[in-house]
């Protein structure tokens, strides 16, 4: 790839997520049941307050903007306010910005939409204020709240919303979209590269698109090695080798694999834990051994999240497995 081509592709990198964001509910992939329910609301032009809950990159924001586009057409931005609660966590954002938008005069539509992203980051006081605001302006405003963990949303707000739970996208849906984008951008994508993107994404479409973008800048062909290098993801076989060596009692070999993943490939300890957790049942090991590994994974994850040293805890986990404990 020439330097000019590389710069051109890098310059497009920032906008790919928005460039390929579905514009209508019909374009949303992997959530047919949710889309069907949302389309029934839109067709009747009778939205309720909504709560979108689920992992990152599964289409929550996309569905919110698609609803606004279908209801308001080209003027949708005038009637759609998007706030990110992780940036604006306090009670002031509820009292000021939301109320000011709700009170603003408007014409031509029955109600406007306020989309509050990452609503589980709101403080409890802000959520209490939001509950009252939802009641006060329910005649001319509809709220769509988005969160990763619905348990962090207070019950009075949940009871006021129609709840939509987004699950991680199926591998087939992610693969289809990645193929379409690669064809549109003229990227040569190998089958093993596609499989690597799907594996690294783990149901997160945004992560898959970002991985394709980044890997496409590094060379003419997006293959397996390019994807794993750019996404800082360990190959499944490396994780399997590390665990199997420990279970076989070969701590030295297991530790060597861990050291290569942490040092040479620069993978974070928390990411290794996540890959272990999602892959353990794919390993060809007995159920008893798998249960033992999962127990050690849980203990190690807890210690790391509490601030313990990642390398020490991961090595201790492998040592425990090697000793048969």
- Residues annotated within the binding site for ATP are 54-61
| C-alpha–C-alpha distance, residues 48 and 163, integer Å | 10
In eight-state DSSP terms, residue 309 is -
Q: At what angle do helices 287-305 and 310-322 cross, to 10 degrees?
A: 160
Residue-level length of the chain: 325
**Cβ atoms 45, 157 nearer than 8 A:** no
- The answer for 161, left when phi > 0, alpha when psi is -120 to 50, beta otherwise, is beta
Using the structure block, give the residue that is written with the tokens 């890997």.
215
In the chain the beta strands, taken as DSSP E runs, fall at 50-53, 80-84, 112-117, 141-147, 162-165, 188-189, 221-222
Q: How far is CA 304 from CA 108, 246, 266, 314, in A?
A: 54, 20, 17, 9
Distances from the Cα of 178 to the Cα of 40, 125, 182, 198, 275, angstroms:
29, 41, 6, 9, 22
Cβ neighbors of 201 (< 8 A, separation 6 or more) are 57, 169, 174, 207, 208, 211
Annotated binding site: 54-61
Q: Distance between CA 291 and CA 286 in Å, rounded?
A: 9
């Amino acid at each position: 790839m020439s330097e000019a081509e590389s710069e051109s592709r890098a310059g497009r990198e920032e906008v790919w997520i928005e460039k390929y964001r579905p514009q209508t509910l019909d374009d949303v992939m992997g959530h047919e049941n949710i889309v069907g329910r949302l389309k029934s609301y839109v067709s009747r032009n009778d939205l309720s307050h909504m709560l979108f809950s689920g992992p990152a990159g599964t289409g929550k924001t996309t569905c919110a903007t698609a609803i606004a586009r279908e209801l308001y057409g080209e003027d949708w931005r005038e009637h759609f306010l998007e706030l990110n609660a992780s940036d604006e966590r306090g009670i002031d954002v509820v009292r000021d910005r939301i109320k000011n938008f709700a009170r603003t005069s408007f014409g031509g539509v029955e109600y406007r939409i306020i989309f509050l992203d990452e609503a589980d980051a709101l403080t409890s006081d802000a959520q209490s204020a939001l509950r009252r605001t939802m009641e006060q302006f329910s005649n001319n405003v509809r709220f769509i709240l988005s969160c990763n963990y619905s348990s962090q949303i207070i019950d009075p707000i949940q009871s006021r919303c129609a709840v939509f739970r987004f699950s991680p996208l199926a591998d087939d849906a992610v693969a289809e979209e990645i193929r379409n984008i690669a064809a549109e951008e003229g990227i040569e994508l190998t089958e093993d590269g596609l499989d690597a993107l799907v594996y690294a994404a783990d149901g997160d479409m945004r992560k898959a698109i970002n991985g394709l973008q980044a890997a496409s800048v590094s060379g003419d062909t997006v293959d397996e090695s390019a994807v794993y290098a750019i996404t800082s993801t360990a190959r499944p076989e490396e994780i399997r080798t590390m665990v199997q060596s420990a279970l076989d009692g070969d701590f030295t070999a297991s530790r060597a694999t861990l050291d290569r993943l942490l040092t040479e490939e620069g993978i974070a300890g928390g990411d290794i834990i996540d890959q272990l957790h999602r892959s353990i049942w794919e390993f060809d090991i007995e159920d008893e051994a798998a249960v033992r590994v999962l127990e050690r994974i849980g203990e190690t994850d807890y210690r790391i999240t509490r601030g313990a040293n990642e390398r020490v805890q991961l090595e201790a986990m492998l040592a425990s497995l090697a000793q048969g404990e």
